[in-house]
Amino acid sequence: MNIRKGVSPLIAVVLLIVFTVAVSTMIMSWMNTYTKDTTTSASANTDTVIECSRQTVNIPTTSGVTHTIDNVTVNVENNGQANTTLKKVIAYDSTGLACIISSTEFELEVGDLKNYGPINCTDITTGWDNTCIASVRVTTTCGGIYDEWLNPTACS
């Protein structure tokens, strides 16, 4: 009596081929989705970087910051090639305390000059030294696009 147990070699080969095709189909499907998602993400990031590279903000050297004993006024201009969204305008006193002049996002079109203030920083920041503003910083929604005005006369 000859009893054979197991799978014939022909059926084994067919099963191996079917298994290989099924696994490779799943891998190719995953790779296709992954590649599309990665390409879309990279394309969106590239568009953002290109748009941000066209943006520039500036606090004019001569008329950018006006300071009285009570108030601070900051002028910001967009001298870039694209509209930009200002994020914050912050003044710093001689001791390093910050006074947020504006934290409302505002779109500044090409060539526009926006006036922020006057703001009384002694009402906003406890301990604010209103005798001297050491610097003013303007930030935008594009990382790395900002301008900083440094007081040309040293704060004593």
- Per-residue pLDDT tens digits for 68-81: 877 889 999 999 99
pTM of structure: 0.69
Task: Say how many C-beta atoms besides its own lie within 10 A of residue 69's C-beta.
Answer: 8
Share of the chain above pLDDT 70, in %: 96
Average pLDDT over residues 126-152: 87
Q: Mapping DSSP to helix (H, G, I), strand (E, B) and coil, where does residue 155 land? A: coil
- Distance between alpha carbon 99 and the CA centroid of its chain, in Å? 22
Q: Which CATH architecture has domain 57-150?
A: Sandwich (2.60)
Specify the pLDDT at position 4: 67
Specify the pLDDT at position 138: 93
Domain boundaries, the chain: 7-53, 57-150
pLDDT of 142 higher than 70: yes
What is the spatial distance between Cα 45 and Cα 43, in angstroms, rounded to a whole number? 5
What band does 143 get if pLDDT is binned at 50, 70 and 90?
Answer: confident
Average pLDDT over residues 60-65: 84
